[in-house]
Amino acid sequence: MIPFREFVEQNSFIICAHRGASGIAPENTVAAVRLALESGAPMIEIDVQYTRDHQMVVFHDDTMERTTNGVGAINQKSLEEIQGLDAGSWFSPSFAGERIPKLVDVLELIRGRAYVNLEIKPRPDTEEAQKETLELIELLRSMSMLDTCLFSSFDHRAIRHVRALMPDLPMLALNVPGDTRSPDQVVADCGADVFGCSVEELNEDMMALCRQKGIPVAVYTVNTADELNYVVAMGVRGIVTNMSHIIVPAYEAL
């Protein structure tokens, strides 16, 4: 695989499977990642969270209830405690027994087959959180994946911290709903390369400003052919989608 920055130069529009193929499999599981790879999505987005014993896992929510049979906050659980949970049945009985995967296992699955969009979930601004971010970077380095990934976050402090450590790493600042700053202010403030927002937040004025300032815009979550047509017409450079099995062929047919 060529480095992600080169891939971006060669491709005007990038489709990223959101939490894996989360429209047809339980989000952020190995099953969802496998189906996203099968869909031909060139990039896969996963959410990174930390357990009480500082293990990196792929999981979206702060708490277990919505997508597992467990209860409580993920950062209060050990890796061993969460590995016994069922992270698939909530989605469909056919996915019973899917687990909350360790980040390293998901990265191993994706490595060499797709680019990775690692969303760092908002963290407290502590030394411990900064140490864990360093460990994430070291993990990617040890797997030779630093040049095939993109970091993204709503937590712009985390982006600023990673930028200070890694001047060349591609980074996407997700707009915090209610933030009144313009996209150029947001990316300049934290050192991101890309501005991300929801499809609902997208508008002509924002796109005109980003075009003028040379800021690429990425949008979540684009799940239908109509939404795809809309964001392509608006000049968006990348999307995340729960439905990569539909959006990848729909884009190829445009």
Q: Are 145 and 123 in contact (CB under 8 A)?
A: no
How far apart are CB 198 and Ca ion at their closest, in Å? 12
Question: Which amino acid type is present at position 201?
Answer: E
Side-chain-side CA neighbours of 23 within 13 Å: the count stands at 17
> Does 227 interact with ligand G3P (rule: CB under 6 A)?
no
* CA neighbor of 243 nearest in space, from 49, 227, 235: 227
How far apart are CB 205 and Ca ion at their closest, in Å? 26
> Does 156 interact with ligand G3P (rule: CB under 6 A)?
no
Question: Which amino acid type is present at position 69?
Answer: N
> Does 174 interact with ligand G3P (rule: CB under 6 A)?
yes
Q: Pairing between strand 43-50 and 56-58?
A: antiparallel
Among 21, 36, 44, 47, binds Ca ion (CB under 5 A): 47
* CA neighbor of 39 nearest in space, from 240, 180, 243, 236: 243
Among 29, 152, 223, 244, binds ligand G3P (CB under 6 A): 152
> Does 155 interact with ligand G3P (rule: CB under 6 A)?
no
Among 17, 47, 56, 77, binds ligand G3P (CB under 6 A): 47
- Assign 199 to helix, strand or coil: coil
> Does 240 interact with ligand G3P (rule: CB under 6 A)?
yes
How far apart are CB 220 and ligand G3P at their closest, in Å? 4
Residue 174, contacted partner among Ca ion, ligand G3P, none, CB below 5-8 A by kind: ligand G3P
Helix 103-110 vs helix 127-142: crossing angle, to nearest 10: 30
| 98 or 155: CB nearest ligand G3P | 155
Verify whether residue 245 is a known catalytic residue.
Answer: no
Verify whether residue 54 is a known catalytic residue.
Answer: no
How far apart are CB 45 and Ca ion at their closest, in Å? 6
The string of DSSP codes covering 8-68 is HHH-S-EEEEETTTTTTS-TTSHHHHHHHHHTT-SEEEEEEEE-TT--EEE--SSBSTTTS
Binding interface with Ca ion (CB under 5 A)? 47, 119
Binding interface with ligand G3P (CB under 6 A)? 18, 45, 47, 60, 119, 152, 174, 196, 220, 240
